[in-house]
Structures are given as C-alpha cells and as structure tokens.
Amino acid sequence: MRAAQYTGNGSIETVETAEAAPGAGEVRIRVAYTGICGTDLHILHGNMDHRVTVPQSIGHEMSGTVDAVGDGVDGVTPGQAVTVMPLVWCGDCPACRAGNSHICQNLDFVGIETPGALQELWNVPASVVIPIPDGVSLAHAALVEPLAVAAHDVRRARLVAGETALVIGGGPIGQLIALVAARTGARVIVAEPNADRRALAAANGAHVVDPISENLGDIVQELTAGAGADVVFEVAGIPATALDATAHAKVRGRLVMVAIHPKPVLIDLQRVFWRELEILGARVYEREDFERAIDLIAAGEIPADTLITDIVPLEQTLQAFESLGNAQAMKVLVDVRAHG
C-alpha cells in the first residue's frame, strides 16, 4: 500500500509499505481523506521529533471506511463510514483517575506517538473509532476532528449566548471556533491580518478586524461598550498576540490558550491580576466534543465546502503542507485513496 511518511528535516516522502491485518481489538480503516493541521506543521518543522518515530506516517484529521476488524471488536462493520478520536489513555495515571483521561499523563496521541492516517490502510485501536452518520460525505467527515477541537475550546471557555468572543487568529481552528461560538449564540469578533481569511470569517457572520491597519483594542472597547470581551481565544500562536490577549478581556473575563507555543512566551500577568482574569488551557477534546462536531456537520451548520480549499492526491502531501504553512489555504485534505 502507499503511505506518505515524515522522514525528518522538513521532508515528506511517498513510499510503498506492507499491509498489515488488524490485531485483536483493532480496526483497519481504508482511509479516504486526511486533513493537514497546525500540529502536523509543527511535526514537519522538527518541533516534535521527541515524540515522533522517523520515518512515520502522521495525520489525525481523517475519514474513511472500515476495511476489516480484529478479534473482539464490536460496534463497527466493514464498509461503515468512520473517523477517529485519536487519543489512547492509560486509565491509571492521576489525570485519568480524576476523570481527565483526554489529557492523560501518559497519552498516546495517535498520529504523533504512533502512526497516523497518511496511509491507505490504517490499523487503530477500536476504542478510537467513531461512526459517521449516513448522508455525511467523507470529505466533510474529515473536518470532524478539528471541529471537535473548536467545540472543546468553546465549551472550555464556558461561553454562553449573549457574550462576546474575540478570536485572535483566523486560521482553520480560529474559523471553526468562530463558527461554534456563533452557533452558541455569542457575538464573534475575529482579528486576522490575512484579507482572504477575514473575508471568510465575515461571510460566516463575524465582525472582522485587521489588527495591522486597525486598532483592535479600540474596536473591542467600542463593540462592548467599554467592557471588553467575555472570552478571548488566542489562536494565532505568536508571542505578540499572547502578550496582547489579556488587554482585550473584560473584568473577570476568560482567556483561552488554544495555539501551540513551542517556546515559553510573555504574558501580561499584571493585567490578569488587575482584572481577575482566568487563563484556561485547551489542548484536545472529549467524546462529547466529537459528538457535537458530528451533529453540526450532519445538520449542515458548518460551511464545509467553503472551509475545504484544496484536495490533493497522496503524492502531493508535501505541497499540501507548504500551502497551509504559507497561509495560501484554509483546510487542505489529502485524498489517500488509490485512483486510476
């Protein structure tokens, strides 16, 4: 079978590898689409080599159909459309025992610590497989995982109808957070310097701000009658935006750190003290976030076709990474299926 593998030093290569039967408790998925995300870019840039075995197929945003099941697997059948919630936890660490297994202290993030979905046939533990309802296209189903990230971020923020959410960064996750926040009933402001990304957010109902040519602080103050945003989502992943984020939150507002900052960054703790702000981390997701994501996509609440800006064959995986890294695309899917 064909597989695209991260080979280190910023390189992705398409290779032929041997098929493997699913083991006991495993499901073999015939992968249809794999999405490329910011975490994958961090892997390509070498920032996560301490977690990834090289060479290795990566990728965890995906859709496909069940190809075969191993012994002891119930609940899915060959031919069924599925996605994965790519988290395998130990069940025994303090985090798991406290009910926080999604951020297990020994977490195996499938597609990082273990091989991912950039391969035609992918064996995964049955516990991570989630069925997709009939009628949902496999291309749209590949958005479930990143949409679950956004659903978790919004739920972690305790955002409710009538509040104001400021999303700093209008990339793929920022756009999805804005959509989930709007469907929660919040007023949404998106700060994003890229004109195309601002246009997409505006088309989806957000008030958009160019933080380069406009004064974001003045606009937030104007829109909130001087109070500030109830919730600020830091999604840009830039040291300057992390430092600036606290300035836009209201008294007792919440700051949700969504972006991955590979190195420690400055944050205005004086502002945190002065306004009694909360800083919340939001790392992955839980099962209820996946369920909400699936419901939103199945109901047509997410403009999936607009968000998917390109679909490329497996052999062009590296170009897909480059397109996303250069902010030339919103969500790029790799069509893993064999054609011809």
- Active-site annotation holds for 140: no
- Active-site annotation holds for 34: no
Catalytic-role residue among 14, 42, 65, 309: 42
Distance from C-alpha of 340 to C-alpha of 336, rounded to nearest angstrom: 13
Distance from C-alpha of 330 to C-alpha of 307, rounded to nearest angstrom: 6
Catalytic-role residue among 34, 39, 83, 241: 39
* 228 to 102, 120, 133, 220: CA distances (angstroms): 32, 48, 40, 6
The residues annotated as belonging to the active site are 39, 42
